[in-house]
Structure 1
Amino acid sequence: MDLGRVFAGVPRVGRVDGCAYCYSPSDLELLGGDPAAVPDDLVGSFAREVTDHWSEDQYGLIWRGLAPRILALVEASPDRLLLRGLTHARFPAWPDDEQRAVRAALRAMLADAVTDGRPASSVEELICAAAHVDHDLTPWLAHLHTMTGDDADAGIARLARYWAADLAAGGEPSLWWFPRDPAAPIRDWLRSDELHRRLSRTGDRDALIAIAEV
């Protein structure tokens, strides 16, 4: 999907009313202008920044304009903080095509991350980033069950072993909206029939044993 085309019509806000202590006048000018002219480090700083550093009236338009750039940063180096501002940007009120584009881009990133052999910790970071879309891990964990093929089997088993070991040691995912039990969706996924059928089919006894200890 061409994210640049989807978000091309987002209006520019002009000079941004942001924190003048943390951002220079030139930074604030750049953020309100052509998204292509904003350096990567400034895009990342905007996305990770606490939202009270920005004008509430402008924030959603700035985020929408930079959405392709922010998503490119997520793809290059998954970081859950890059998407934490989506709620403040009023994501549910965005045009339908923009919402669909964000979700589709993240689903594609997740499929690549699971199947290309990268470490499970990186896959976790991407899933936790994507969960900021709806403040819910569940749909992204469910998306894992739609993936097929040997590479998907291997990546999902790797993730299951990683999470099982982490939860058994008392770890839990860090989520920006601070749910009461952030690990609950992961425990449910680890115990799901779909995952157990996959691991049993591939003969991954190590993963099944690790899950049993959670």
Structure 2
Amino acid sequence: MVNTQQSSAAVSHPIRVGSGFLALGIGLFLLLVAYVVTDVLGMVPNGLDPIVVATLALLAVASVAASRAGPLQEVAAGAFRIRFFEKKIEKLEDDVGTLEFVVRGLVTRHMLSHLRKLADTESDWVRFRWSMYSELEHLQDVGYVVPNDERGLQALISDHEHSDEEFHLKRYLQLTSTGWEYLRAWEKVSGEAGKLAHI
């Protein structure tokens, strides 16, 4: 005779661990981006604190990595079982990818202005300043701009170091595909959608 009586023991529901890490990671990324945005808008008196940026970025990346390292985990407390299953959250992954890109290529508000000048969203008339030269060097190092002149950035020094006259920045530099991608990503996370729509 087959016993059809079911056990009256309570069945515990699985607890999703990965989604918690994902939510934490996204929250930290949003906090970091908000911090960067306030600096770009000139609301951070002393500029970005590299320790704060590094800490938030490290914690955010670690949290997202913990949730995306493999399948999300389900822990069934009653049965002491851990099950793994595949689950993709496309929209969240897209948002996290955009935030990762923006954080990875952090630029100051002055560097962002140079990128916008090269994208025709601001006038590209500039005067040579050593601070500007250093900012352009950084943008070249991260792959956002490339020189038009075979002399490289040295052309700016040779042509304008001892002059206070304005010149067109686009004569010397142009955006790379990565630079365009960064501007579009920044537009997305900063709420300035539409400025690059014509490009």
Judge same fold: TM > 0.5, yes or no.
no
Q: From the two aligned structures, give the one with the greater strand fraction.
A: 2
- Select the structure of larger CA radius of gyration: 2
TM-score relative to the length of structure 1: 0.27
TM-score of the two chains, using structure 2 as the length reference: 0.29
**More helix per residue: 1 or 2?**
1
